[in-house]
Amino acid sequence: MPTRVRKAVFPVAGLGTRLLPATKTIPKEMITIVDRPLIQYAVDEAREAGIEQLIFVTGRGKSALVDYFDVGFELEATLRDKGKSLDVLDPSNARFGEVVSVRQQVPLGLGHAVWCARDIVGDEPFAVLLPDELMFGQPGCLAQMVEAYDKVGGNLVAALEVPESETHKYGVIDPGASDGRLTEIKGLVEKPAPGTAPSNLMLPGRYILQPEVMRALDAQEKGAGGEIQLTDAMAKLIGQQPLHAFRFEGERYDCGGADGFVIANIAMALKRQDVGPAVKAFLSTAKARGAV
Ligand code: UTP
């Protein structure tokens, strides 16, 4: 059985330019989906998968993310005085030592952000979750991946089919043999030019990686877009370590832009027993009016 995955890296140092002006002062990971910041969904997913240490790779203006997982003494005291329940705060309370943060002073790319966590990760496998990709599954995406990882080990990435016309926006896999939800990866291409993608299987931002990926990132080589790419480091290890794509069962919402954020809000609200009925009623009325 491969070594258990205990640590997860959350690269959150990006500028979030597609969500300006909101992200001028608020990290995009703190914008809410229904009544929880986006980061909470990724952290819940990681905890469900057995992750014990949450490593945030932050940048300028991202302190609210780390503060969010702190204890809010004044808030708690006020709620207690008013006789209100504190349960609502539970998911945002980290256990002592659960949250660690490191700074990426300059956004040189996703690979560079992950590499900034190298000393905290140490010599063990780790997960990477991009919080702006909201994954909904039962169990969650990372929990499904951990189950598959226990069988095949090595490096494992979540994969999703997208229309061919969209492959140029993502990291795309060159697929080998498939077995159920697992597909061997022969190669990885970051943002292939339109019409050149080796498949329509893209990487939506969930990874289980071996520490050797950090060693591959030591070279700091720039790839697509002049950025240090995580996919390039993984691709370097093909032939040395198993590399599989895992087609996860569930839904994915790209919250990197305003359209995805709105869609994710509606989709997640509809799943909730408290706010779902009101949103459903609104959508039905809007449809009857011809607005949908
Ligand atoms: P994105 O490119 O989607 O995020 O990176 P961004 O840069 O924040 O957004 P836009 O494109 O300007 O709107 C994917 C993930 O990688 C992180 C981002 O925070 C996001 O979670 N990232 C990216 C870093 O942490 N550092 C980087 O240098 C680049």
Counting residues of the chain whose pLDDT is more than 90, the rounded percentage is 91
Q: What digits encode the pLDDT tens for the residues 166-192? A: 999 898 999 999 999 999 999 998 889
Whether ligand 1 lies within 6 angstroms of the CB of 130 is answered as yes
Distance, CA of 280 to CA of 158 (rounded, Å): 31
Compute the average pLDDT of residues 243-247.
96
Which is the closest atom of ligand 1 to the Cα of 228? 28
**What residue owns the CA closest to ligand 1's atom 10?**
16
Compute the average pLDDT of residues 96-123.
96
Distance, CA of 38 to CA of 242 (rounded, Å): 32
Domains of the chain: 7-256 (3.90.550.10), 257-292 (no CATH)
Compute the average pLDDT of residues 14-20.
94
**Helix H or strand E segment including 258:** helix 258-270
Q: Are 269 and 279 in contact (CB under 8 A)?
A: yes
Give residue 52 CA to ligand 1 midpoint distance, Å: 24
With helix as H, strand as E and coil as C, how does 96-119 read? CCCEEEEECCCCCCHHHHHHCCHH
pLDDT category of residue 280 using cuts at 50, 70 and 90: very high
